[in-house]
Amino acid sequence: MNRIEALAHHVEGLFKELDDDIARFSGWSGIHCAFGCGKCCLKPDIEASPLEFLPFALEVHRRKEVAIWLEKIQQAGATCVVYDEHQPGAGKCSSYLHRGMICRLFGFSARRNKYNKREMITCSIIKDEQSANFENAEEKINDGGEIPVAADYYARLRGIDPGLGAQLFPVNQAIRTALETVDSFFYYESGHPAG
Ligand code: SF4
């Protein structure tokens, strides 16, 4: 396993823990995304670190599609380039398995507010359409109810590689940096030009 694959492997390990935490939270709270929604991906101000998109970039490299995705980003506006409005099924992410950490955390995690209370990071659709579950969850997470804490997960991500994990960028910029990192690694360090 080379250095980039090892990094992506570590990130995927963290994602696995996060997904398990989210499943536990969703289980006790009943909070879930509306089928086929994907509206959170349309937010124009999503920020992410390049590191959380390293698994995505490696997958793109394996498919020899780096140039295609860099071109897509070049043409894209602020909406995440991975979003596909025509995608059938539960959501609109065209690379759900390799989505970033922010994509996993949003809706199913907490932050501390200025009163040092935990509050859910979620959307108005969940707040409105699942109001009883939402209010119950908000109460319980301050009484020991398990929920992933976004800042903790980002601290762990930074710990994997501060260079790629510490800074947040608009989502398409983060994806582009991840793709360029993988691209130059395979080009310069392995002698295998990227796809
Ligand atoms: S990577 Fe997928 S889940 Fe994340 S913002 Fe983009 S479309 Fe949405």
Q: Which residue owns the Cα nearest ligand 1 atom 4? A: 103
Rounded Cα gap, residues 97 and 37, in angstroms: 17
List pocket residues of ligand 1, CB cut-off 6 Å.
41, 46, 80, 82-83, 93, 99-100, 103, 171
Q: Does the pLDDT at position 193 exceed 70?
A: no
Beta bridge partners of 112: 118
Express as a percent the part of the chain with pLDDT over 90: 87
Going from the Cα of 118 to the center of ligand 1, the distance in angstroms, rounded, reads: 25
Q: Return the domain boundaries, the chain.
A: 3-189
Q: Which residue owns the Cα nearest ligand 1 atom 5? A: 41
Backbone angles phi, psi at 93, to 5 degrees: -85, 125
Residues 6 or more apart whose CB falls under 8 angstroms from that of 123 comprise 39, 40, 106, 107
Q: Does the pLDDT at position 150 exceed 90?
A: yes
In the prediction, which pLDDT does 195 show? 53
Nearest to 126 by CA among 45, 48, 52, 25: 25
In the prediction, which pLDDT does 192 show? 55
Going from the Cα of 41 to the center of ligand 1, the distance in angstroms, rounded, reads: 5
Rounded Cα gap, residues 80 and 56, in angstroms: 13
Q: For 38-84, write each residue's pLDDT tens digit.
A: 999 999 899 999 999 999 999 999 999 999 999 999 999 999 999 99
